Amino acid sequence: MKVEVLAVGTELLLGQIADTNGAWLGEQLALAGVDSHFHQVVGDNLERIVLALRTALARADGVVVTGGLGPTHDDITREAIAEVMQVPLVRDPAIAERIRALFASRGREMPSSNLRQAEVPEGATPIEQRQGTAPGLVCPVGRKVVYALPGVPHELREMFARGVLPDLRRRLAEQGATGVIASRVLRTWGLSESALGERLAGRVAALDAAGGNPTLALQASGIEGIKVRITAKAPDPGSAGAMLAAEEAEVRAAVGDAVFGVDGDTMEAAVGRLLLERHLTLGLAESLTGGLVSARIVAVAGASAWFRGAVVSYAPEVKWQVLGVPEGPVVSEDAAEAMAAGAAKVLGADVGLALTGVAGPDELEGKAPGTVVVGLVLPGGPPTARRLRLPGDRERVRQMAVISALDLVRRALLAAGPPAR
């Protein structure tokens, strides 16, 4: 069964709000074993909504429409669906009374415009609204169906689970369709999208030759790295999970330690797990990042078990006086190594990490914007430093410096071997 998602709202096209509903619905449809090959966004225009609906119904068995069910003049999803169904709108007295009662319970008089929300395409079944005023709709169009849901996310999610999902499952059963679609995302850092694609080219070809299940897809995610999405379709969740696990092992074999996490994992959480396994703590010295690294770290629940703190040594004098960095250039390997050692000593940490550099837009000490030097010291070893050249404007350089530095810690811990037993 194929179902498309149609988001209605000029504000979506203008970029004033993001269509988070579409992403959530795509995930829920996949979990239910429903294919969703197209998502559309259309403005508040009757002719264009009708065209979008007819286009979707020509390709799919059903459409989930979000938005345009409010009481104002530009809320015209009901009218568009009625035109596609070729039926009139009729007022549902029960819906009208419920809306009146809702306003009365809040000590307010219902505006007459809210009665528009009680209008239902003839032959459609309302989905009771329990959190707002706009009811949803289940609208048959021949052997196909249009589901209309409010655009307010919490209203949409509750209504989808209660009023749409059961109907979808019934239709799937009638078609004899079973199964689930499941995905897993492997998060990588340190390889470009093209380099990652080259490493996985053989695996993609093998999967295509075997029928394309599971599938692999790459998604560039800016300062969060490149994501490798594995998607599998199977008769049941257990079988899908086994397929995902098997393919994850293949991807990891091809990509190596560029993979730092799965699904919602972050680089800072991955570093934290490695430190905990090794019973180590981390101390920071930040210059150009100005506290961004420590801010990400403390967003990880339980970070206090492995994070000692940070010295934001932005001024050269702080590097010299607090961290014991020798006076001289501060954007250098020597300065970064001394900052890392100083952070570990001052903060009483096992591992010291330091960042210094030039975020831009101007040069510093003859170094170009985007020059970043990361210092690192591990227990029992000498301080080391690595110079990076990061692209982008000031903010992008700073953000990329954060995850690049944390990735250096991660790789160094992995290279040092497993924790002692």
How does pLDDT run across 99-134, given as a tens digit for each residue? 888 888 888 888 888 888 899 999 999 999 888 888
Q: Are residues 258 and 339 in the same domain?
A: no
**Would you place residue 391 in the very low, low, confident or very high pLDDT band (cuts 50, 70, 90)?**
very high
Is it the case that residue 419 has pLDDT exceeding 90? no
Answer yes or no: do 33 and 170 share one domain. yes
- Number of domains comprising the chain: 3
Q: Which of 208, 239, 262 is the last residue of a domain?
A: 262
Contact 379, 350 (CB under 8 A): yes
End position of a domain, from candidates 246, 262, 278: 262
Residue 119 and residue 37 share a domain: yes
CA distance 393 to 60: 43
Answer yes or no: is 360 within a domain: yes
Q: Kindly list the distances between the CA atom of residue 410 and the CA atoms of 4, 316, 330, 352, in Å, as whole numbers in the listed order.
A: 41, 28, 25, 13
Confidence of residue 421 (pLDDT cuts 50, 70, 90): low
Instruction: Mark whether 147 and 272 lie in a shared domain.
Output: no
- Listing DSSP states for 379-408 in one string gives TTS--EEEEEE--SSHHHHHHHHHHHHHHH
Q: How confident is the model at residue 256 (pLDDT cuts 50, 70, 90)?
A: very high
pLDDT confidence tier of residue 242, bands split at 50, 70 and 90: very high
Q: Which pair of tokens denotes residue 76?
A: 């015209």
pLDDT, one tens digit per residue, over 37-96 is: 999 999 999 999 999 999 999 999 999 999 999 898 899 999 999 999 999 999 999 999
Same domain, 15 and 145: yes
Asked whether residue 271 falls in the same domain as residue 258, the answer is no
What is the domain extent for residue 148? 3-174
Same domain, 250 and 359: no
Looking at the structure, tell me whether residues 275 and 312 fall in a common domain: yes
* pTM for the structure as a whole: 0.75
Could you tell me if residue 397 is inside a domain? yes
Whether the per-residue pLDDT at 173 is higher than 90: the answer is no
CATH code of the domain containing 276: 3.90.950.20
76 and 107 share one domain: yes
The answer to the question of residue 198 being in a domain is yes
For residue 98, being part of any structural domain is answered with: yes
Domain presence at residue 421: no
Is 334 inside any structural domain? yes
At 112 the pLDDT is 85
Is the residue at 24 inside a domain? yes
Place of tokens 């609906």: 53
Q: What is the largest CA-CA distance in the chain?
A: 82
The mean pLDDT value for 207-216 works out to 93
Reported as a single tens digit per residue, the pLDDT across 332-370 is: 999 999 999 999 999 999 999 999 999 999 999 999 999
Work out the number of other CB atoms within 10 angstroms of the CB of residue 129: 21
Instruction: Examine the domain organization and report whether 199 and 271 are in the same domain.
Output: no
- For the segment 364-392, the average pLDDT, to the nearest whole number, is 96
Q: Both 232 and 169 in a single domain? A: no
CATH code, domain carrying 42 = 3.40.980.10
Edge to edge, the sheet with strand 180-188 lists 215-220, 226-234, 180-188, 259-262
For residue 41, being part of any structural domain is answered with: yes
Q: Are residues 313 and 398 in the same domain?
A: yes
Q: Among 127, 150, 174, where does a domain finish?
A: 174
**CATH (domain of 202):** 3.30.70.2860
